[in-house]
Copies of this chain bind each other. A is one copy, B any other.
């Protein structure tokens, strides 16, 4: 995400996001959304039957850092409320979906129209692309972007607040900063509670149950320079794993990196 792109006109960015979503809907784009539609909010998706949805909604409310709920649909209605865009159809508007039966990956599809159920509820949750863009706009450099690697993720001993069948540990992403940069990063992300908000920890990985910082759960082993401290944010992978572990009869998520692009600017998410 370059700063040059951040200065483009908001209407232009909205129009580009709508054009890209039209291409995704028509089947012309099934690839990653990472780095596309700069400036626009992209959402993590989870789709569950109504019988599971109330507990999951409550789970999001109890755990706003890993599960920052931005919007959700009415049961059976595949269209998101208009506050995140005009006619966003969860069946067709993300490029790629994963289908889980009883918590086990069963299928990967590019459209949900044929398998849509009239009791489905879709949840759209904020993702770290938004706060990373804000950090870069704020003058901070992100190591995994410098290194062209995936951000490292870790399983922590920070338990989420349980709700019905949904419970488990918080997954975190890690970005190293000098202390004064870390302070700035907290200040910036404090303005974005709907995209994970402030870090959950910095400094000592062992305090949150991470035994070996060089061995992430996913992503590349981190490069941490002298005097830098690791800063940990709650990650949107948390609800994905927790939903899988709850083993609902059916659950559909976006495929990681293949997000739902909205008509909202990241800057509009700021408090």
Enumerate chain A interface residues (CB-CB to B < 8 A). Answer: 179-180, 182-184, 186-187, 190, 198-204, 207, 227, 229
Contacts and interface: CB of A to CB of B under 8 A. Distances in A.
A179 B204 CA distance: 8
A270 to B, nearest CB: 13
Contact of A187 (B186, B202, B204): B186
A214 to B, nearest CB: 20
Query: 6 closest A-B pairs (Cβ-Cβ)?
Result: A186-B186, A187-B190, A179-B203, A179-B202, A179-B201, A183-B198
A155 to B, nearest CB: 18
Contacts of A198: 183-184, 186-187
Given A227-B204, A227-B207, A186 B180 contact: no
26 contacts: A179-B201, A179-B202, A179-B203, A179-B204, A179-B207, A180-B200, A180-B201, A182-B202, A183-B198, A183-B199, A183-B200, A183-B201, A183-B202, A184-B198, A186-B186, A186-B187, A186-B190, A186-B198, A187-B187, A187-B190, A187-B198, A190-B190, A203-B203, A203-B229, A204-B227, A207-B227
Contacts of A179: 201-204, 207
Nearest to A187: B190
A29 B24 CA distance: 73
Contacts of A227: 204, 207
Contacts of A202: 179, 182-183
A191 B187 CA distance: 9
A201 B229 CA distance: 12
Contacts of A184: 198
A120 to B, nearest CB: 36
A186 B202 CA distance: 12
A253 to B, nearest CB: 29
Given A180-B201, A182-B202, A207-B227, 13 more contacts: A179-B201, A179-B202, A179-B203, A180-B200, A183-B186, A183-B199, A186-B186, A186-B198, A187-B187, A187-B190, A190-B190, A203-B229, A204-B227
